[in-house]
Structure 1
C-alpha cells in the first residue's frame, strides 16, 4: 500500500556517463528518465553545471534543459545549478529567457557561486578567482533582466525581460542560506554531498527570511541520496558500488580502483570523509526508503525533497526512481513552482 509523503519530490539528474558510454548515451537516458518522471509524478528535474568531469555530461546546462524540455510536456526543468560566477548575468538571462519563451511555466533557474570545477579548469573558463565575491550583486542583476526593470541602465535581456523565471539559491553553507533569506528566494541545500551545515542553514534561512515579489513564505529544498531496490541486499550492494565510485572520484581524482582497493580506502581517514558525504542516504526496499524520506522531511522541515539516485548501473538508476515514485504515491499530487 502506498502512503503519500506530505511534500513533493523532485530529481537531480547528474547526467552521468557510465563506463563504456558516451555523452550521447547519457543524454538519451536523461530524456527517457524525464519522460518517465513526468508520468510518475515528480515535480521537477534539475541539472548541474560541472566542467572537466569525464563522468558528468551536463556542462552545457541550458542546452541540456532545452533538449529534455523538447521531449517532455509538463514537468518543470531547471538548473541545479548554474554557477553564476562563471558567466555574465546577461548571458544567463538570455539563455533562460529563451527557455522560458519556448517552454512557458516550466523553467527554473537555480544559482550557485562555487566554480563547479578545479582551479585549472577555472582558468580555462577565464573565470576571475575573485568573481564569487560579487555573487549577491550578480544575482540581483540577473533578476532585474528577467523581471524588470534592469539594474544596468540601457541594457535589457532579449529574450528574458518579463519572463519572470523563478530564481533559487543553492548552497552547502550558511552564506547561501543568508543570501536566499535576504533576497526572499527559495533555498536548496546540497545535503546529498555536503551534509554538515544542513540543519543550521535551514534554521538561519527560515529565521531571516524576508518576503519578496517572488516568494511570500520560505521554501526549502533538501537533497537526499536514494537507492531503492526490490531487496535490502540489492540496495546495499548498489550503495557499496556508489561509495567505491566516489572513492575513485574524490580520493583517486578519477583513478579506477579495484573493489578491494576501494574498500581499504573507505576504512582510511580519506575514505571516512567520502562516507560522511553520503550521510543522508535512503537505501533499501521501497518501504525502507519511504520511511527514511518521511523521517528526513520531518527532521529538516523541508518543503520539498530532491532525490539523487546515484546507482551506477543505468537500469538500477531508473528502477530506483520508479520505486520511490510508486511507494510515495507521487502521481496523486500536482507539481509546485515555489516561484
Structure 2
C-alpha cells in the first residue's frame, strides 16, 4: 500500500516505546513492532523513535538499535529518529550507526537530530562524562556529522559505513534555535509542538523567513508533532488520555514512573490544579482527544493554521488495542 494523505499531507508516527505498568520492556518492543507493521499497512509515511534516558516508562533509549529492529520488521515505511540527541554522542559514532542502518535498509532511514539532553543533568553527565558538551556546539556537531556523510570528507577520520551515503538529516526543536539553524542549512525541520505548542508559530516563522535552498532541500519542509487519542466516544478518549497526563505529572514531580493505566476518578488521584491542567490540555492544540469526527476537525484546523508539510502523531495510549485503533481512525481520514 502506498503513502496516504490527510488534507493532502502525509502523516507519520512518533513512538517512545512506552513501558506499561506491570509489563516487561520486551513487551514494549513487541508492541512497537506491531504498531509499525500496522501503520505501514495503513499508509503512514514514516515511523520515528525518540531518545530519552533514565525514564522507566520509555524504552527507546538505545534509539539506533531499536530503529534497526523496527526497520527489520517492516518493508517499506521510512524509519528514523525523532530524534537522536546529538550532544549525548560523538558525531562519528552516530555517522557509523546510521551509516550501518542505511546500508542495511537503503532508502528507508531518517536521521532527526536534537540538541536537548533528553534527560536530567545527572543523566547527561553519565552519558557524556562531562557537562562541557552543553548543546551550544550543536551547529558544529551537525557540520561534523554532515562531513562524515559527504562524498569527500575533510580530515583523516572517515565513517565506515557512512561516507557518501544520502541519509536525510532533519533538525528537531522546541524553540527557535534549531528552526533558524535548519533554515540556514537548508534542512527539513520538525517542531515538537506536541509538548511545546506555545513556541510553534514563532519557530515556523523563523524557519520559513530564513530558509536558504540547499542541495538537500529546495524549499522549506516542516513536520509538526501532535498528540492524538481517538476513540469511539469522547468519554473513552478522555479516559485513555489520563495515562499520558499521569506521565506528564510524574515528570513534573520529579518522580518518573512506568506508563500508567487510565484512571476513572481524577479527584481520587490528582490535585485540583492537576485536574485543571488536564482539562486545559484537552482544549489545547498539542493534544487532540475525542471521537473520529472531533479529531478530524481539530487536526484539519491544526494543519490549516500551521501550513505543515507533514504531521507526526504521538498516541500515548496504555492498551495496545486502543492504540492500534486510534491509528485506524486516523487512517480512515486519509485518502
TM above 0.5:
yes
How far apart are 1:237 and its partner, in Å?
Answer: 1.7
Which residue in the other structure is 2:82 paired with? Answer: 80
Which residue in the other structure is 1:288 paired with? Answer: 294
Which residue in the other structure is 2:230 paired with? Answer: 228
Please say if 1:264 is aligned against 2:293. Answer: no
Change (3 A) 1:323 1:127: farther
Please say if 1:298 is aligned against 2:304. Answer: yes
Please say if 1:317 is aligned against 2:323. Answer: yes
Greater shift in the superposed pair: 32-41 or 309-318 = 309-318
How far apart are 1:149 and its partner, in Å?
Answer: 2.6
Match of 1:248 among 231, 247, 250: 250
How far apart are 1:279 and its partner, in Å?
Answer: 4.2
How far apart are 1:126 and its partner, in Å?
Answer: 2.6
Change (3 A) 1:273 1:167: farther
How far apart are 1:274 and its partner, in Å?
Answer: 8.7
Unaligned runs of 5+ in 1: 330-339
Contact kept in structure 1, 2:282 and 2:289, CA below 8 Å: no
Equivalent runs, 1:166-185 vs 2, <5 Å: 166-185=168-187
Equivalent runs, 1:1-339 vs 2, <5 Å: 4-131=6-133, 132-151=135-154, 153-254=155-256, 259=266, 260-267=268-275, 271=277, 275=281, 279-329=285-335
Contact kept in structure 1, 2:237 and 2:289, CA below 8 Å: yes
SS of structure 1 residue aligned to 2:167: coil
How far apart are 1:242 and its partner, in Å?
Answer: 2.5
Change (3 A) 1:178 1:273: farther
Structure 1: how far apart are the matches of 2:17 and 2:76?
20
Contact kept in structure 1, 2:247 and 2:256, CA below 8 Å: no
Greater shift in the superposed pair: 21-30 or 307-316 = 307-316
Structure 2: how far apart are the matches of 1:227 and 1:198?
21
How far apart are 1:328 and its partner, in Å?
Answer: 2.1
Contact kept in structure 2, 1:182 and 1:209, CA below 8 Å: yes
Contact kept in structure 2, 1:141 and 1:150, CA below 8 Å: no
Contact kept in structure 1, 2:86 and 2:115, CA below 8 Å: yes
Greater shift in the superposed pair: 248-257 or 49-58 = 248-257
Greater shift in the superposed pair: 235-244 or 15-24 = 235-244
How far apart are 1:275 and its partner, in Å?
Answer: 3.8
SS of structure 2 residue aligned to 1:323: helix
Alignment length (residue pairs): 325
SS of structure 1 residue aligned to 2:82: strand
Contact kept in structure 2, 1:86 and 1:127, CA below 8 Å: no
How far apart are 1:128 and its partner, in Å?
Answer: 3.2
Change (3 A) 1:273 1:181: farther
Structure 1: how far apart are the matches of 2:81 and 2:188?
14
How far apart are 1:235 and its partner, in Å?
Answer: 1.0
